[in-house]
Structure 1
Amino acid sequence: MKLHFHRLILAAGLLLASFGTSSAEPLRTPPSFEKWSVNCGNSGMCYASAFVRDQATWVDIRIIRDWRAGAEALVRLTTNAPLAAEGTIKLSVDGREIDAFPVEQLREIQSTIVAPPGFRPIGGEGFWVPVGPATRALVSAMRAGNVLTVSLPATPDPVTIKVPLQGSRAALRWIDERQLRSGTQSALVNPGEAPAEDAPHAVPVLAPDTLPPAVQKIWDANRFCSDIDPAIFASLDAVAAPLEDKSTLYLLPCGAPSAYNTPYVAILGTPDGKARQLYVSRMAEKGPIASDLIYNARWFPVEKQMHGFFKGSGLGECGIWDRWVWTGSNFVLTEEASRQTCDGTDVSLDTWGTTWPAAASKE
């Protein structure tokens, strides 16, 4: 076992030396557009969202799209305001009412709307806008408008929240680009004539008992991976990512998450039903080491990349961030950044100093 581990470390070092960093890499953190933020889950499902607070009341509005070619955009409205059952939620763009939904009726239809697999709601009470014409009309109006006004029948007093729409169009364009929809019939912004195709994706894994036997055996025997509540497992964006050679990459949570770090393991399943655990390289003081855990793992289906971010605090202003690229048989570390000072300062991950590749020494 000791010799095997040393070989892993040596292999990690060799992989480090054989790859460079591409200029087309995904950013360390997703961009934002005015008040709108964007992101994608490990499956390839993407969303654009805006969060607006007015005194004690807040509203989160997000446009969500799954990776399937025919997937329509969904709109979800979430608020912390207690709503009167007999009241009506009204949505207007630039003073023109787009739609109105009785709260009681909206609550009743929620069970009929199927959320994309792996979707995780935020706190508060959330509502899916009825799918079909209502959602399409709302997205179209938001894309072209300046202000979305959300009128809530809150108790004891009604509340009106204004959501700026500047940046929403750019956010939707970003989703199109991430899902390779730009110029196709399914694009949210500037559609074209090209037929829609499934975006690069991974399949959500919602329960360990759905894993192939060889993969489940490795996961179950690894550290304390199986010591996790099934409901928590389902919420942690575990995926099975198809690869070019018909192998499958499984990115699975390993054990119960801590306050701000969730450990994952990567397992490669092959077409013949076999599986092996994958190790990743990380930089230590004296050189590269091999690790079997990836913290807060994110998978990028288009680029076949995986990011890990070990947070030193809940704010995430310190810790270690890594980027690994799939080579066809293993992962290679192409970039690492760290910040050692946990001082409560809101520091963007994009500004952290790079610790790998090492800066060229000055002559």
Structure 2
Amino acid sequence: MTLKSHRLFFAAALLLSTAAPLQAQPFRTPPTFDRWSVNCGNSGMCYGSVFVRDQATWVDIRIIRDWRADAAPLVRLTTNSVLTAEGTISLSVDGNEVDAFPVAQLREIQSTIVAPPGFRPVGGEGFWIPVGPATEALVGAMLTGDVLTVELPTETNPTIIKVPLQGTRSALKWIDQRQLRSGTVSALVTPGDEPAQDAPHAVPVLSPETLPPSVLSVWDANRFCSDIDPAIFASLDAVAAPLEDKSTLYLLPCGAPTAYNTPYVAIFATADGKARQMYVARMTEDGPIASDLIYNAKWFPVQKQVHGFFKGSGLGECGIWDRWVWTGSNFVLTEEASRQTCDGTDVPLSGWTTTWPAVASKD
């Protein structure tokens, strides 16, 4: 073994931990509530979504909330239907019309509504519901109702999609809790008298040109990190996460993403302007190794954790998942799970075999 190999192995060993952090751990995957799923971006923007398909037509409804204290919820409706320009989209809850929007008018106002950084729309034609009273009324009705009826103006007859609302309240409560809004005047489900505060967050990095020179130098010198289209970079949820002692952790995409994996690098910058790349531990059959890439990185600002998920297929039923916890100077690997069989069976991450910490044999 060479001296360099010894150093890498020793570094990887230092980045391992068998001790569980004191804070509650985020799940390997976000929970679901009936038909609703929830998630958050690296910046702290969170959303709840429900997808309903009726024969060839589908509708996706998303309620999105940014991390800022005064950020109002946004509602986005997306469909694969071809809509008539002179038609109207009608939204009703439990048989009572909440609002109706001419398609032409909706298309006209879309450019005036700014999506939170890190939001990635799904395919199809998407519409932001007008912000303000229209969105407030719709969210309020969805929180108390059972069925949202979406009537879409299509070429022949209107297409009607029934969206179940069971799980809406739980999904938005999860967002309140994740953004630490519960008990404040800004909470959607569990409001209180406490003043609204910014949710735990990281600052979106939309362009490498905005990086400090020392961070840009480290990023540009690594592999082929800078070989990425600026528009793609802006869509990949790169962030600058504030840490203690006025230091900052940067999670930046490194090179162009593949079909289902995006590589990231972690760069640590101190208040005096210095920067260095961070390495993380990974487990192999022969022991730990130090890696400079984190795939599909997810940042959790409250727990100061990064999760990585290297997908072995587009379905994501196989691959390697890791949890790294920030210690103040490095990341330590506290959990790793893997599934080697790419067989098309949808197996949730919670059911994958834990490969670190190692499970003692019963023999």
Is the 8 Å Cα contact of residues 84 and 154 (structure 1) preserved in structure 2? yes
The AA in structure 1 aligned to 2:335 is E
Question: Take 1:299 and 1:274, find their aligned partners in 2: how far apart are those partners?
Answer: 22
For residues 163-198 of structure 1, give each alpha carbon's deviation from its aligned partner in whole angstroms, at most 9, with x where no partner exists: 000000000000001000111111110200111110
The AA in structure 1 aligned to 2:212 is P
Per-residue deviation at 1:21?
5.2
For residues 235-283 of structure 1, give each alpha carbon's deviation from its aligned partner in whole angstroms, at most 9, with x where no partner exists: 1111111112211111011011111111100001111111000000000
Question: Take 1:67 and 1:173, find their aligned partners in 2: how far apart are those partners?
Answer: 15
The AA in structure 2 aligned to 1:35 is R
Question: Which residue number corresponds to residue 184 of structure 1?
Answer: 184
SS state of the match for residue 245, structure 1?
helix
Question: Which residue number corresponds to residue 223 of structure 1?
Answer: 223
Per-residue deviation at 1:121?
1.0
SS state of the match for residue 16, structure 1?
coil
For residues 44-72 of structure 1, give each alpha carbon's deviation from its aligned partner in whole angstroms, at most 9, with x where no partner exists: 10000000011111100010000001100
Question: Take 1:229 and 1:5, find their aligned partners in 2: how far apart are those partners?
Answer: 34
The AA in structure 2 aligned to 1:225 is C
Q: State how 1:117-136 maps to structure 2 within 5 Å.
A: 117-136=117-136
Question: Which residue number corresponds to residue 307 of structure 1?
Answer: 307
Question: Take 1:346 and 1:40, find their aligned partners in 2: how far apart are those partners?
Answer: 22
Per-residue deviation at 1:20?
2.6
Per-residue deviation at 1:116?
0.8
Inter-CA distance 218–4: structure 2 relative to 1 (3 Å threshold)? farther
Matched residues, number: 362
Question: Take 1:113 and 1:6, find their aligned partners in 2: how far apart are those partners?
Answer: 54
SS state of the match for residue 162, structure 1?
strand
Q: Name stretches of at least 5 consecutive residues in structure 2 with no aligned partner.
A: none
The AA in structure 2 aligned to 1:188 is L
For residues 70-95 of structure 1, give each alpha carbon's deviation from its aligned partner in whole angstroms, at most 9, with x where no partner exists: 10000000011111111111100000
User: Structure 1 residues 118-127 or 173-182, which shifts more?
Assistant: 118-127
Q: State how 1:52-201 maps to structure 2 within 5 Å.
A: 52-201=52-201
Question: Take 1:362 and 1:355, find their aligned partners in 2: how far apart are those partners?
Answer: 16
Question: Take 2:22 and 2:287, find their aligned partners in 1: how far apart are those partners?
Answer: 22
Q: State how 1:20-59 maps to structure 2 within 5 Å.
A: 20=20, 24-59=24-59
Question: Take 1:23 and 1:194, find their aligned partners in 2: how far apart are those partners?
Answer: 23
Question: Take 1:191 and 1:32, find their aligned partners in 2: how far apart are those partners?
Answer: 22
Is the 8 Å Cα contact of residues 19 and 332 (structure 1) preserved in structure 2? no
User: Structure 1 residues 293-302 or 5-14, which shifts more?
Assistant: 5-14
Is the 8 Å Cα contact of residues 323 and 336 (structure 1) preserved in structure 2? yes
Is the 8 Å Cα contact of residues 337 and 353 (structure 1) preserved in structure 2? yes
TM-score normalised to structure 2 length: 0.97
The AA in structure 1 aligned to 2:33 is F
SS state of the match for residue 16, structure 2?
helix
Question: Which residue number corresponds to residue 357 of structure 1?
Answer: 357
Question: Which residue number corresponds to residue 282 of structure 2?
Answer: 282
Q: Name stretches of at least 5 consecutive residues in structure 1 with no aligned partner.
A: none
The 4+ residue runs of structure 1 with deviation greater than 6 A are none
SS state of the match for residue 115, structure 1?
coil
Inter-CA distance 103–131: structure 2 relative to 1 (3 Å threshold)? same
1:10 and 2:10 are equivalent in the alignment: yes
For residues 280-332 of structure 1, give each alpha carbon's deviation from its aligned partner in whole angstroms, at most 9, with x where no partner exists: 00001121110000011111111110000111111111110000001111100
Question: Take 2:204 and 2:91, find their aligned partners in 1: how far apart are those partners?
Answer: 32
Computed over aligned residues only, the root mean square deviation of the Cα atoms, in angstroms, reads 1.3
SS state of the match for residue 341, structure 1?
coil
Question: Take 1:156 and 1:217, find their aligned partners in 2: how far apart are those partners?
Answer: 58
For residues 9-38 of structure 1, give each alpha carbon's deviation from its aligned partner in whole angstroms, at most 9, with x where no partner exists: 313213314633557110001100001000
Per-residue deviation at 1:118?
1.8
Per-residue deviation at 1:120?
1.2
Once the two structures are aligned, what percentage of the paired residues are identical? 79
SS state of the match for residue 173, structure 1?
helix
Question: Take 1:155 and 1:327, find their aligned partners in 2: how far apart are those partners?
Answer: 59
The AA in structure 2 aligned to 1:291 is S
Q: State how 1:246-265 maps to structure 2 within 5 Å.
A: 246-265=246-265
SS state of the match for residue 232, structure 2?
helix
The AA in structure 2 aligned to 1:94 is D
Inter-CA distance 18–355: structure 2 relative to 1 (3 Å threshold)? closer
TM-score normalised to structure 1 length: 0.97
Inter-CA distance 5–304: structure 2 relative to 1 (3 Å threshold)? farther
Per-residue deviation at 1:360?
2.5
Per-residue deviation at 1:122?
1.0
